Chains A and B, each alone.
Chain A
């Protein structure tokens, strides 16, 4: 199985450890992973700001970079959702269509494609899960609190395989953190307030780490935590799943 590793621009630049953990984790499960070096961005920041008509060249590039793989895996739910919903190509429409079907966020790739049942990792801390909206409501990584439907959570399933890890419960299980792409600057007041409230829920319920499958949300909450000089840290779920089993 050949997998193309899609690392969103800001993850590449600011959170290389999450990307490294993603790569190593996939390799641990015997996957042949390639990082196409010409990749740039999925075009989401532009599209969500109303400029989807400008992202066509981004789209073409994405198709060029990734169409050769069996699967495309990415440690960011919102970028995956964007590709799934909005990738189009005038040059190779069939390839774009195929990519929309074979792009996966890391967590769902592990649970649904690799169907992993156990992990060797140890992380002896209290951890809160941040359900990022695009991962949860868009990719359905977890059941949504609004619906009358059976509960499930793919990230939780994986984290429960980690030795020593204690999951905390949140008061509001799936409230948005307020990042929202350019929303975080265009609507600074509400965005910051949402971030503060989200972080407070984790802290009040005893989290030492906040984890999730989307670094954009984690980056937002990290910004708030650092400003508050909090000891609580954010960590991408790949880094927990890839943690040393014998620290």
Chain B
């Protein structure tokens, strides 16, 4: 059993339907401080590995810039590249589908499975299917999905969403995974040796691979020039699933396009170094056409991407190659956990993607940041993440998604700051600052005061000192 942690953050995790916001969910996460320390250290370790890896590449910053420019070109010519990709893929014998939103995507997957009377499927890692809630949809329609990425399998067994796009179960300790495997896979009670647990998962997945006739994969890159897709995994589970299945379905967001094969090298060099500090993923598999007797489908999914493309301030977010580096480096993510973002994609990038889909529901996320800017610096495609967080704040306030109390307080502050005389009087009659900066009031209800003391007000303010000095100089 789990001994070293209290269980406050265990169990069915908040998936966003609880309605709680990031601050509330982080507060719950922080009730177990040793666990926060563990989570922070674990992810910081990944960031450190990233630093080591990127520092072996002297041209790293140029690589980032080049990749960013390639994606810039893609976003500026997206429709043309998509049509080129479709044409090539069809010529390769692939069936291409277009899905405007999550619902259409899920229905397409289901219809393909129905056509083949398939009710069990394996799936390798795909954040897009998380975004579309495909598993839920299929299980409601009587289709069983087995996630074959080890981390995803673990959160699937725990009935939780992934907490990280690259490391889906990074929030779980090995003892907790041992518990899950004991219940679901029959490992010995108390077994927490990663090697033993991995072996158990391997055996279990092997039988799934051998018996499932359909395999769904995500897509890391889609090459317009050739119509092929590239899937990056460390476990080879995408290959295993696809090679043993009669039907291969690949789901991709429309932004996954790169123009030519020769561009792939830039992204492969950047992706895993940024993600985990590895030079490259163990498997970078190219799928171009179905093998004889197999059916291959590619579903091109929009689900809000065109809209984001149309928002000038936020379109760069579509350059994302889902490396997760912005999460590993984010001091807030490390101390609040992925589930606190209550969206399929957590961390800084999730916070700029989510409001595009639902401003009201995700209005809290752009505020879940100190705007420290570390995310933008690690991002391999140079997305201006923290600037976009700032810009989302302006949009959300203007659209009325911020509490009226806060809005009133801000108006009062703005009003006062525009009248120097009033500001001076307020300064003399006690510290006006205490009144207008809500976090400065020293009482138990004030969140500042919970773990922090107030600054001690000095005898005189600087402007009082300055006035006194001027007077003395005149004498």
Contact = CB atoms under 8 A, between A and B. Distances in A.
B374 A185 contact: no
Given A180-B369, A186-B23, A192-B450, A52 B394 contact: yes
A93 B466 CA distance: 30
Interface residues on B, range: 35 or more
Contacts, number: 223
Interface stretch (B122-130, B344-352, B457-465): B457-465
Contact of B23 (A40, A148, A181, A189): A189
Nearest to B439: A185
Interface string B384-409: 00000010011111100010001100
A224 interface: yes
A14 B433 contact: yes
A137 B374 contact: yes
B30 A179 contact: no
B367 A58 contact: no
B427 A13 contact: yes
Interface string B8-47: 0000000000000011001101100100100010001000
A190 to B, nearest CB: 5
Contacts of B58: 148
A19 B397 CA distance: 34
Given A182-B439, A183-B370, A192 B452 contact: yes
Interface stretch (B77-85, B290-298, B416-424): B416-424
Contacts of B446: 185
Given A10-B437, A133-B370, A146 B453 contact: no
Interface stretch (B146-154, B187-195, B329-337): B329-337
Query: Which of B371, B394, B407, B467 gathers most chain A CB within 10 Å?
Result: B371
Contacts of A51: 397, 407, 410-411, 414
A22 to B, nearest CB: 9
Nearest to A196: B451
Interface residues on A, range: 35 or more
Given A137-B377, A175-B331, A189 B27 contact: yes
A25 to B, nearest CB: 14
A146 B374 contact: yes
Interface stretch (A95-103, A105-113, A215-223): A215-223
A134 B390 CA distance: 13
Given A137-B374, A178-B370, A50 B453 contact: no
A116 interface: no
Interface in A214-244: 219-220, 222-224, 226-227
B424 to A, nearest CB: 8
Nearest to A184: B439
Contact of B455 (A48, A180, A222): A222
Interface in A42-100: 43, 45-55, 57-58, 60-61
Contacts of A181: 370
B465 A53 contact: no
B413 interface: yes
B393 A190 contact: no
B417 A194 contact: no
A219 B455 contact: yes
B452 A49 contact: no
A82 to B, nearest CB: 10
B350 to A, nearest CB: 16
Interface stretch (A31-39, A119-127, A156-164): A31-39
A223 B332 contact: no
B451 A186 contact: no
Nearest to A35: B466
Given A11-B462, A148-B61, A224-B452, A137 B373 contact: yes
B48 to A, nearest CB: 9
Interface stretch (B49-57, B101-109, B133-141): B49-57
A57 B418 contact: yes
10 contacts: A13-B433, A15-B455, A16-B465, A37-B420, A58-B418, A134-B371, A148-B57, A178-B331, A186-B23, A227-B451
Interface of B: 22-23, 26-27, 29-30, 33, 36, 40, 44, 51, 54-55, 57-58, 60-61, 329, 331-332, 335-336, 367-374, 376-378, 390, 393-398, 402, 406-407, 410-411, 413-420, 423-424, 427, 431-433, 437-439, 446-448, 450-458, 460-467
Given A12-B462, A137-B376, 16 more contacts: A13-B432, A13-B461, A14-B431, A14-B455, A16-B458, A16-B461, A16-B465, A43-B414, A53-B398, A57-B415, A186-B367, A188-B448, A188-B450, A190-B368, A193-B335, A222-B453
Interface of A: 7, 9-17, 19-20, 23, 35, 37-41, 43, 45-55, 57-58, 60-61, 133-134, 137-138, 144-149, 172, 174-176, 178-197, 219-220, 222-224, 226-227
